[in-house]
Structure 1
């Protein structure tokens, strides 16, 4: 794995092989990550990266949030609870010298947080954990008004309280873009 574009373009990240299926560590491939960022930059959604407050949920290796930082995001917060994933995430942040925050918690129970503009949601495939996480993030104040959510899953997600914008399929991966309709739970 490597950073695809921006200031850290070409920098290698910690090797994970094919991931750790027992820990549900399934890194987003470089090809899918590049497609996601092409969609964000060239998809007619405005400048969603420059100075964005990014939240990478079910962060795994952190590749999505780190890619966003490389491309001009102001900050990144990573929510992850797996021990192996946390170790790789910390290594990747150190490799790049990134200024980032890690929340070592279950994404379905993140607690209270601060509002973020761009949310990457990459839950373990086929378990419908993303729907629970989005509801908890909204309740905890993690979603800014009109936050853009980039949801990677093996099936199209249920988008209650989200406005669908776009959906693409890359092999066995669906990438869904949506906007938060309600934003903060307690504005």
Structure 2
């Protein structure tokens, strides 16, 4: 994610393509640029995840940290999420995200050009989020900082649902009021869904 910013050409041959799995925009394919460290969640994992999320996603307020290609945030919007804030520091990626949201005529999302860790460390003054996606570049080992900032910064609704992708051998430690709802592995990736059970 350290390449210099440049204007992406979304119709350029050789661009990566992201397919929306389900919901309003099912089957739509969206282009995203080649960006170092950008690793979109694969189709099989996304299908499993959103089957897990089916009871929670409709009407949800979502936060997609390290949004990258927008695979998770856009899928959530397609399946009925009320709003999604996508945070991404790479300008090529955020430009593509905005273009793709415009192609979908989607006004229920916002894209923030910012370093995710710095952004969430500032704390949240808006309504808390019902569903949060945490899928950082694995090289950052950012999970502890992200989790601490989310909890301390008032980002999470009392009964929030939190999705995390990490290497299978990463010793992930969740807060005491998070209960592991589902977990699965795909290759070298472990993906988990937690429910927060905090007092309002």
TM-score tier by shorter-chain length is 0.7 to 0.9
Report the alpha carbon displacement of residue 7 of structure 1 after superposing the two structures with TM: 0.7
Structure with higher Rg: it is 2
Distance between the aligned counterparts of 2:175 and 2:115, measured in 1? 21
Match of 2:181 among 165, 169, 176: 165
Give the match for residue 59 of structure 1: 67
Does the alignment pair 1:13 with 2:21? no
Distance between the aligned counterparts of 2:197 and 2:52, measured in 1? 21
Distance between the aligned counterparts of 1:88 and 1:130, measured in 2? 25
Are the counterparts in 1 of residues 94 and 112 from structure 2 also a CA contact under 8 Å? Answer: no
Are the counterparts in 1 of residues 32 and 93 from structure 2 also a CA contact under 8 Å? Answer: no
Give the match for residue 19 of structure 2: 2
Are the counterparts in 2 of residues 54 and 116 from structure 1 also a CA contact under 8 Å? Answer: yes
Does the alignment pair 1:112 with 2:114? no
The answer to which of 113-122 and 147-156 deviates more is: 147-156
RMSD (CA atoms): 1.8
Q: Deviation digits for residues 23-77 of structure 1, max 9, x if unmatched?
A: x111112222112112223xxxxx2011000111111111111111111111111
Give the match for residue 90 of structure 2: 82
The answer to which of 56-65 and 27-36 deviates more is: 27-36
Report the alpha carbon displacement of residue 152 of structure 1 after superposing the two structures with TM: 1.2
Describe the SS at the equivalent of 1:78.
Answer: strand
Match of 1:131 among 121, 141, 144: 144
Are the counterparts in 2 of residues 126 and 153 from structure 1 also a CA contact under 8 Å? Answer: no
The answer to which of 110-119 and 158-167 deviates more is: 158-167
Q: 1:105 to 1:139 in 2, by over 3 A?
A: farther
Runs of 4+ in 1 over 6 A off after TM superposition: none
- Structure 1 length-normalised TM: 0.85
Q: How many residue pairs end up in the alignment?
A: 175
Report the alpha carbon displacement of residue 170 of structure 1 after superposing the two structures with TM: 1.2
Report the alpha carbon displacement of residue 182 of structure 1 after superposing the two structures with TM: 4.0
Describe the SS at the equivalent of 2:117.
Answer: coil
Give the match for residue 44 of structure 1: none
Which blocks of at least 5 consecutive residues in structure 1 are unaligned?
Answer: 42-46
